[in-house]
Chains A and B, each alone.
Chain A
Amino acid sequence: MSTVIEVDDVWKKYRLGIIGTGTLRHDFERWWHRVRGKPDPHSKLDERSEIRNRKSEVVTNVGHRISGVSASLGDDEMWALRGVSFEVKQGEILGIIGRNGAGKSTLLKILCRVTAPTKGEVRIKGRIASLLEVGTGFHPELTGRENIFLNGAILGMTKAEIRTKLDEIVAFAEIDTYVDTPVKRYSSGMYVRLAFAVAAHLEPEILIVDEVLAVGDVQFQKKCLGKMGDVAHEGRTVLLVSHNMNAIESLCQRIAHVEQGQVLAITNDLRGAIAAYVSGPTTTDATEWRNPGDALLNPWFRPLRFYLGDEHGKLAKMPIRNDDPIHVWIEGEIDQQDVALTVGYALYNEAGILLYWSAQTDVAENLWPRLARGRNALRSRIPPRVLNQGKYRLELIVALYCRQWISSPGANAPIIELSIQGGLSDSPYWMEKRPGLLAPVCSWTLEGN
């Protein structure tokens, strides 16, 4: 397989804030003051030092990796890309992942020639088409058919090419009956379908797709994924940027992990790369609470540690996949045994809605764990594939049933956080977060005839 894209040590510098606010009068005044040898009346000292602070923050975040280059930065500049190099082979589907602001979009913009790199070179073989935002250049007053021509031409097709593809595009987008309706009357789903259909039929050698699958119904998403697969089978190349790890995992052969303007890794170990990305260094979730010593003092059950871990008690790293076994661990000390003791947790979603309570006394009395004096460790598995993708809050429950709260959710309870990403289902139709509070995978059977 030959190489179709070579990104060779590409750097991109952006200026923070200042540019574009320049007005003719300010520039003229600057010039006039310079002519007379006076200081610039518009260099806002406070603002500038603030920006410098912001930048030094950036630099410290980036740490050692920035070495040397920062010297060539002006006061209000920052590097969005810092020495990015990689190759893409023909017929490959490369997933690009990374946090917001990591430089993914900048990289794509350079590949699409929307903006020029500051340093470095990109070599490309074949025609590039980008599907960066749905319906780029659609004109609301024009009909579907007219917009196919407009959009196709913007993406680089000639009129003759579009004409030969027209029926195929209309059929793929499933808009047959609305093809002569102005697109302003289209639903957002139809809009997306039409936009994707045009780009997908462009027959570019290289197709760049940025987060487009976030819209459209599940059926159409499936169709798009299929089409991208086809495109690659035909020997064309796809670059896919997405925060949807399920789509990336099911579609891509290789993943480039971009962070802070650099390619951290480019690998065909998809699971590894995704795991490295989702458990990246910026995760600040508190997955563990430890008793500082004097909290929640009582003789019945003094909580010592409340955390999320695997079944052996190894602390979990957030976020976790929804099919990973994840356990809530509660360790505490008992001086005085009491039959009314109830220990458990309350689970809230990101919006603060209580999803459920769970306690060790939820089952028949003869099945309750027998807590002894001294130190006890309770473990409870969080039901797999019930929660939706997202962030959750767990609050510790310790109480004497109907008598006394020791650790009360919403009041004095210790809090830990859980974040779930990916692994929602094995279904190819289920690529991302479901609507609804929960996303259980229920079993279905075919009955009778």
Chain B
Amino acid sequence: MSGTVVDKSPAAEWDLIIRPKTGWLDLHLADLWRYRDLTAIFVWRDFVAQYKQTILGPLWHILQPLFTTLIFTVIFGKMAKLPTDGVPPLLFYLAGVTCWSYFADCVNRTSVTFISNAAIFGKVYFPRLSVPVSVVISSMIKFAIQFALFLAFVIFYWMQGAGVHPTAAIALTPLLLVLMAGLSLGAGIIVSALTTRYRDLQQLVVFGVQLMMYATPVVYPLSMIGGGSFRWLILANPMTPIVETFRYAYLGSGTFVGIYLCYSAGFTLAVLFIGVVLFNHVERTFMDTV
């Protein structure tokens, strides 16, 4: 065999060295940046491909929260008579639904990263993280449409003078969006990394995200919980301060406590970090296990 390699060349001469194991913290995030065009194209593909064959196209984004809100208004507002902090019920639920559906969408879609991309991951290398990142970004387009719908309602009610008091906290909107994106991305990729080993976790996620909505003040205000014994549970939920702050910003109701929001931010960073580490660890040998 003529292939005996004498290790004479300095490492700097090579563009790429493929080694068996890299450390847990070797996240090669620079690659992700180098492939930013790919992420952008994934975002665009998601959006274009999703609507090429539907008749109503992006209109679905408007119908979905509208119907959900109407159902919530009937069930939780009219029948269960849950309070809405003095805000028109329609606005109250729409605010919650807008935030929650972005979060839920991102978690559900990023949690299948490995499973639904197995074919392409098995053929060609690119930073795997660009897939879930693109999902979180392309979901923002949907969020933007729903957010515009929400704004339209806010302005409509505000002109009618119906108990709507937007506050300066509106300036926090980008932060809230980034927090939701980071939190759902982190949670989603943790699940996606674990589902390579535990397929049944996939079922749990869809179900779990649905249940978690009820541990988040979406259909009820935080103020309703008062000093109840499971208030801590609702407060431990990092989505709680986000939804509550969102409502406070645009409707003037809800609880806005800075420290709660800081907790959410810290939680998000932790989840994101764990997620990226796990994800990177799995992506190197994932192809051997499917």
* A interface residues (Cβ-Cβ under 8 A, vs B): 3, 6-9, 14-15, 19-20, 22-25, 27, 85-87, 109-128, 130, 132-133, 136-137, 139, 141-142, 146, 149-150, 153-159, 182, 263, 265-267
Contact = CB atoms under 8 A, between A and B. Distances in A.
A192 to B, nearest CB: 15
Nearest to A116: B284
A12 B237 CA distance: 43
A154 B123 CA distance: 10
B123 A136 contact: yes
A252 to B, nearest CB: 15
Contacts of B20: 116-120
B290 interface: yes
Nearest to A22: B197
B52 A182 contact: yes
Interface string B45-70: 10011001100000000000000000
Residue picked from B5, B35, B40, B121, most chain A C-beta under 10 Å: B5
Contact of A137 (B3, B124, B197, B200): B124
A141 B4 CA distance: 48
B14 interface: yes
Given A23-B200, A122-B17, 14 more contacts: A14-B288, A15-B288, A24-B198, A85-B1, A113-B16, A114-B287, A121-B17, A124-B15, A132-B124, A141-B53, A142-B52, A150-B41, A153-B42, A263-B3
A154 B40 CA distance: 11
A114 B5 contact: no
Interface in B244-290: 284-285, 287-290
B45 A142 contact: yes
Contacts of A20: 196-197, 199, 289-290
B207 interface: no
Given A150-B41, A266-B2, A142 B14 contact: no
Judged by DSSP, the binding face of A is mixed
B120 interface: yes
Given A122-B17, A123-B9, A146-B48, A116 B198 contact: no
Contact of B199 (A9, A23, A112, A128): A23
Contacts of A133: 123
A20 to B, nearest CB: 5
Given A20-B197, A86-B3, A115-B284, A124 B123 contact: no
Nearest to B40: A159
Nearest to B38: A153
Given A120-B20, A124-B14, A137 B1 contact: no
A81 B38 CA distance: 32
Given A22-B197, A114-B287, A136-B120, A153 B3 contact: no
Given A132-B124, A136-B120, A265 B1 contact: yes
B1 A158 contact: no
A259 to B, nearest CB: 12
Nearest to A9: B5
B18 A116 contact: yes
B3 A123 contact: no
Interface in B14-52: 14-21, 35, 37-38, 40-42, 45, 48-49, 52
Nearest to B198: A24
B122 interface: yes
A25 B200 contact: yes
B35 A141 contact: no
A371 to B, nearest CB: 53
Contact of A141 (B1, B16, B21, B52): B52
18 contacts: A9-B5, A15-B288, A20-B289, A20-B290, A27-B198, A109-B287, A111-B18, A115-B287, A116-B21, A123-B14, A123-B17, A124-B14, A137-B124, A149-B41, A154-B38, A157-B37, A265-B1, A266-B3
Contacts of A154: 38, 120, 124, 126
Contacts of A146: 45, 48
B91 to A, nearest CB: 36
Given A114-B122, A116-B18, A124-B16, A159 B37 contact: yes
B49 A159 contact: no
Interface in B199-214: 199-201
Interface string B128-143: 0000000000000000
B39 to A, nearest CB: 9
- Please name the 9 residue pairs, one residue from A and one from B, whose CB atoms are nearest each other, closest first: A86-B3, A113-B125, A122-B18, A153-B38, A123-B14, A124-B16, A136-B123, A153-B41, A24-B198
A110 B18 contact: yes
A449 B53 CA distance: 56
A154 B125 CA distance: 8
Contacts of A149: 41
B38 A141 contact: no
Contact of B198 (A22, A109, A155, A267): A22
